[in-house]
C-alpha cells in the first residue's frame, strides 16, 4: 500500500513536470491555434501520461498477485498466503501447515473421509465438555473468539481427518506388556508415592448475605487468631476459644491430594506435620488449618497398573506418530518459495 502511494506521488510529479516544461515550449499562433510545436508537445505530454499510468497499473497488478502469493508446494499442491491466514498462521509455522497438507494428502490417497455423523458426535462432545447449553451458545462462543463458525468447522474437520488416518496407521501397533509396566514402575518409584494429610481446622464462616464491611470484620478476627497462634497460643486452645464464642473448629480427617478444593489442597500439602497455615479464604469463609500427621505410602504395582499402561501407550503413540510422519514427509516433494 505504501509503495502504491509512493508511485502515485511520483506519477503526479512526472505529470506536473511535463505540464510545466511543455507549457513553456507551447506556442500559440495569432489565430489562437497551437502551432506544430505545440501539437508535438501535446503528443509528448500524452505519451508521458500514458507511460505513468501503465507503470501505476502494472504495480497494482503486481500487488494483487503478491497478496495471495504461493509460499510452498506439497506434491505440486500449492500453499498460499491466504491458506496461512486461514489457518491462523500467526500461531502456526509454515512447517506445521506443510505437515498438515502431507497428512491430508495421505488421507485422500487412503480414502479416509469424515462422515457427518462423526463430526456431529465430536461437536456434541465439545458442547458437553465445555458446558454449552446448546449449539447456538457454542457457535456464539466461537464467533466471540474472533473466528467464524464455518472456519471453525473446517479446521475441526481437518484435525479429525488427520487423527482418523493416524489412528488407523498407528493404533494397531500400540500395546504395552506387563514386563514394560513393571520395569517403568521399578524405575520411577517417586511417581507412585501417595501422600496423605490429617488436618484440623478453625473456620470463620461468612454469611451468605454478608456485606463487604461484615466480611472485613470476619477477616480481621481470623487474622487475630492466626497471629495469636504464631505468638504461642496452641491451635487447640484457640479452637476451644473460638467454639466458646460461637465459631467453628473441627477435625476434618485424612485426605489424599486433589480430594480437597484447590485452594486448601495447595496449602495443606505444603505444610509439615504439626505446622499451622496462614488464613485461607474459600467460599465458605476464612480457614486456619493444622496438619496433625503426614502419611506417605507407595502405590502397589496393581494399583498403578492402569495409570502406567495409559502413560506408556501415549508415549508410544507420540513416538510412532513422529516416525510415521517422517516417512511420508520423505516421500513428499516439498518446495519452499
The 334-336 sheet, strands edge to edge: 77-80, 70-74, 334-336
pTM for this entry:
0.46
**Do residue 210 and residue 275 come from a single domain?**
yes
Residue 106 and residue 186: Cα distance in Å, rounded? 40
Q: Output Rg (C-alpha) for the chain, integer angstroms.
A: 37
In a domain, 219, yes or no: yes
**Do residue 236 and residue 166 come from a single domain?**
no
**Do residue 54 and residue 82 come from a single domain?**
no
Full DSSP string of 82-147? HHHHHTTTTTS-HHHHHHHHHHHHHHHHTT----HHHHHHHHHHHHHHTT-SSHHHHHHHHHHTT-
**Do residue 55 and residue 86 come from a single domain?**
no
**Do residue 101 and residue 123 come from a single domain?**
yes
- Fill in the DSSP letter of residue 164: H
Domain boundary (18, 50, 67) is at 67
In a domain, 229, yes or no: yes
In a domain, 292, yes or no: yes
CB atoms within 10 A of CB 102: 20
Which cell is 336 given? 519452499
**Do residue 81 and residue 52 come from a single domain?**
no
**Do residue 259 and residue 271 come from a single domain?**
yes
**What is the domain-level CATH number for residue 121?**
1.10.4030.10
In a domain, 181, yes or no: no
Residue 230 and residue 4: Cα distance in Å, rounded? 73
**Do residue 51 and residue 107 come from a single domain?**
no
234 to 200, 286, 294: CA distances (angstroms): 13, 18, 19
pLDDT of residue 193: 85
Domain count, the chain: 3
**Do residue 56 and residue 88 come from a single domain?**
no
In a domain, 320, yes or no: no
Which cell is 190 given? 517417586
Residue 178 and residue 16: Cα distance in Å, rounded? 87
**Do residue 158 and residue 89 come from a single domain?**
yes
**Do residue 57 and residue 115 come from a single domain?**
no
Domain boundary (15, 43, 67) is at 67
Residue 116 and residue 119: Cα distance in Å, rounded? 5
Domain boundary (48, 67, 86) is at 67
Maximum CA extent, the chain: 122
In a domain, 305, yes or no: no
In a domain, 104, yes or no: yes
What three-state secondary structure class fits 211? coil
pLDDT of residue 281: 93
What three-state secondary structure class fits 49? helix
Residue 295 and residue 195: Cα distance in Å, rounded? 6
CB atoms within 10 A of CB 305: 15
Which cell is 189 given? 518409584
For 67, left (φ over 0), alpha (ψ -120 to 50), or beta?
alpha
Residue 317 and residue 336: Cα distance in Å, rounded? 29
pLDDT of residue 278: 95
**What is the domain-level CATH number for residue 198?**
3.10.50.40
Q: Which domain holds residue 208?
A: 191-298
Digits of tens for pLDDT over the chain (337 positions)?
A: 444 444 444 444 444 444 444 444 444 444 444 444 444 444 444 444 444 444 334 343 333 333 455 455 556 555 555 565 655 544 456 777 777 788 888 888 888 888 899 999 989 988 888 888 899 999 999 898 888 999 889 888 888 888 888 888 888 778 899 999 999 999 999 889 889 999 999 999 999 889 999 999 999 999 999 999 999 999 999 999 999 887 899 999 999 888 998 889 999 999 999 999 999 999 899 999 999 999 988 889 999 999 999 999 989 988 888 888 888 888 877 677 7
Q: Are 289 and 199 in contact (CB under 8 A)?
A: yes
Helix, strand, coil shares, percent, the chain, to 5: 60, 15, 20
**Do residue 275 and residue 250 come from a single domain?**
yes
Which cell is 240 given? 476451644
- For the stretch 10-14, contacts whose Cβ atoms lie closer than 8 Å and that sit 24 or more positions apart, written own/partner, are 11/52, 11/53, 11/55, 11/56, 14/48, 14/52
In a domain, 316, yes or no: no
Amino acid at each position: 500500500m505504501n509503495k502504491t502511494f509512493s508511485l502515485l506521488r511520483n506519477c503526479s510529479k512526472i505529470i506536473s513536470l511535463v505540464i510545466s516544461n511543455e507549457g513553456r515550449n507551447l506556442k500559440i499562433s495569432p489565430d489562437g491555434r497551437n502551432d506544430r510545436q505545440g501539437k508535438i508537445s501535446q503528443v509528448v505530454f500524452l505519451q508521458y501520461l500514458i507511460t505513468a499510468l501503465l507503470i501505476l497499473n502494472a504495480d497494482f497488478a503486481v500487488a494483487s498477485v503478491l497478496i495471495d502469493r504461493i509460499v510452498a508446494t506439497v506434491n505440486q499442491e500449492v500453499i498460499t498466503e491466504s491458506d496461512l491466514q486461514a489457518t491462523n498462521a500467526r500461531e502456526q509455522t509454515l512447517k506445521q501447515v506443510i505437515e498438515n497438507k502431507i497428512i491430508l494428502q495421505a488421507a485422500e490417497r487412503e480414502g479416509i473421509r469424515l462422515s457427518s455423523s462423526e463430526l456431529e458426535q465430536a461437536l456434541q462432545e465439545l458442547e458437553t465438555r465445555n458446558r454449552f447449553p446448546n449449539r447456538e451458545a457454542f457457535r456464539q462462543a466461537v464467533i466471540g473468539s474472533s473466528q467464524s463458525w464455518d472456519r471453525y468447522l473446517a479446521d475441526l474437520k481437518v484435525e479429525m481427518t488427520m487423527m482418523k488416518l493416524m489412528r488407523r496407521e498407528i493404533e494397531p501397533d500400540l500395546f504395552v506388556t506387563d514386563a514394560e509396566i513393571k520395569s517403568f514402575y521399578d524405575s520411577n518409584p517417586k511417581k507412585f508415592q501417595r501422600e496423605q494429610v490429617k488436618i484440623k481446622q478453625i473456620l470463620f464462616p461468612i454469611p451468605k448475605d454478608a456485606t463487604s464491611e461484615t466480611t472485613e470484620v470476619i477477616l480481621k478476627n481470623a487474622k487475630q487468631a492466626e497471629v495469636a497462634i504464631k505468638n504461642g497460643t496452641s491451635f487447640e486452645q484457640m479452637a476451644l476459644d473460638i467454639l466458646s464464642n460461637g465459631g467453628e473448629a473441627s477435625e476434618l480427617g485424612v485426605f489424599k491430594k486433589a480430594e480437597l478444593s484447590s485452594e486448601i489442597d495447595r496449602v495443606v500439602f505444603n505444610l509439615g506435620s504439626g505446622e499451622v497455615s496462614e488464613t485461607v479464604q474459600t467460599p465458605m469463609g476464612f480457614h486456619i488449618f493444622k496438619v496433625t500427621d503426614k502419611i506417605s505410602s507407595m502405590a502397589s504395582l496393581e494399583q498403578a497398573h492402569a495409570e502406567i499402561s495409559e502413560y506408556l501407550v501415549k508415549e508410544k503413540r507420540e513416538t510412532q506418530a513422529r516416525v510415521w510422519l517422517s516417512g511420508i514427509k520423505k516421500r513428499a516433494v516439498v518446495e519452499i518459495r
